[in-house]
A = this chain, B = another copy of it.
């Protein structure tokens, strides 16, 4: 059983059991953002977390074992994503990429925002003109140093 097959099984079982991502996250006491990424094959569960998810979703032992292995990451089937929702994020990188770069360097100097020591929070923001998606990202700044 490959990790991709585990991911497909998780999605199918979640549909059959009518569970939400938020409910799955609650079951292991972590954020819905991290939990969803993990169950979609991008993060690694520990034994206890894998067992809890396995119980909720009726996963076979093989799948529960796989959830504890570090996956080969990258959740998209093409370099430029075709799905409209995901493409909008790619477009933000394309349009605002040099802006991110200019402003982070202005504030911090040469370096990057870590995508590893990173967390995020995604919420509905009520708005009379139409509700909004609010995403707060927080990543550690890692400076390049000369040596």
Binding site for B on A (CB under 8 A): 1-2, 8, 12, 15-16, 20-22, 30-34, 36-38, 40, 42-44, 49, 62, 65-66, 69-70, 72-120, 122, 124-125, 127, 129-147
Given the complex of chains A and B, what is the CA–CA distance between A142 and B95 in angstroms?
16
Q: How long is the Cα–Cα vector from A105 to B34 in the complex, in angstroms?
A: 16
Report the bound CA distance from A46 to B80 in whole Å: 29
Q: Once the chains are docked, how many angstroms separate the CA of A33 from the CA of B147?
A: 8
Pairwise interchain contact B106-A94, C-beta atoms closer than 8 A: no
How many copies, total? 10
The smallest beta-carbon distance between A128 and chain B, in angstroms, is: 12
- Tell me whether A82 and B74 are in contact (CB under 8 A): yes
Given contacts A43-B146, A133-B108, A73 and B69 within 8 Å (CB-CB): no
Decide: A115 near B131, CB < 8 A? Known: A22-B106, A85-B104.
no
The 6 A-B pairs at the shortest CB distance, nearest first, are namely: A74-B82, A113-B133, A75-B98, A88-B115, A86-B97, A44-B110
Give complex CA distance A130, B34 in Å.
22
- Which residue of chain B lies nearest to A139 when distances are taken between CB atoms in the complex? B133
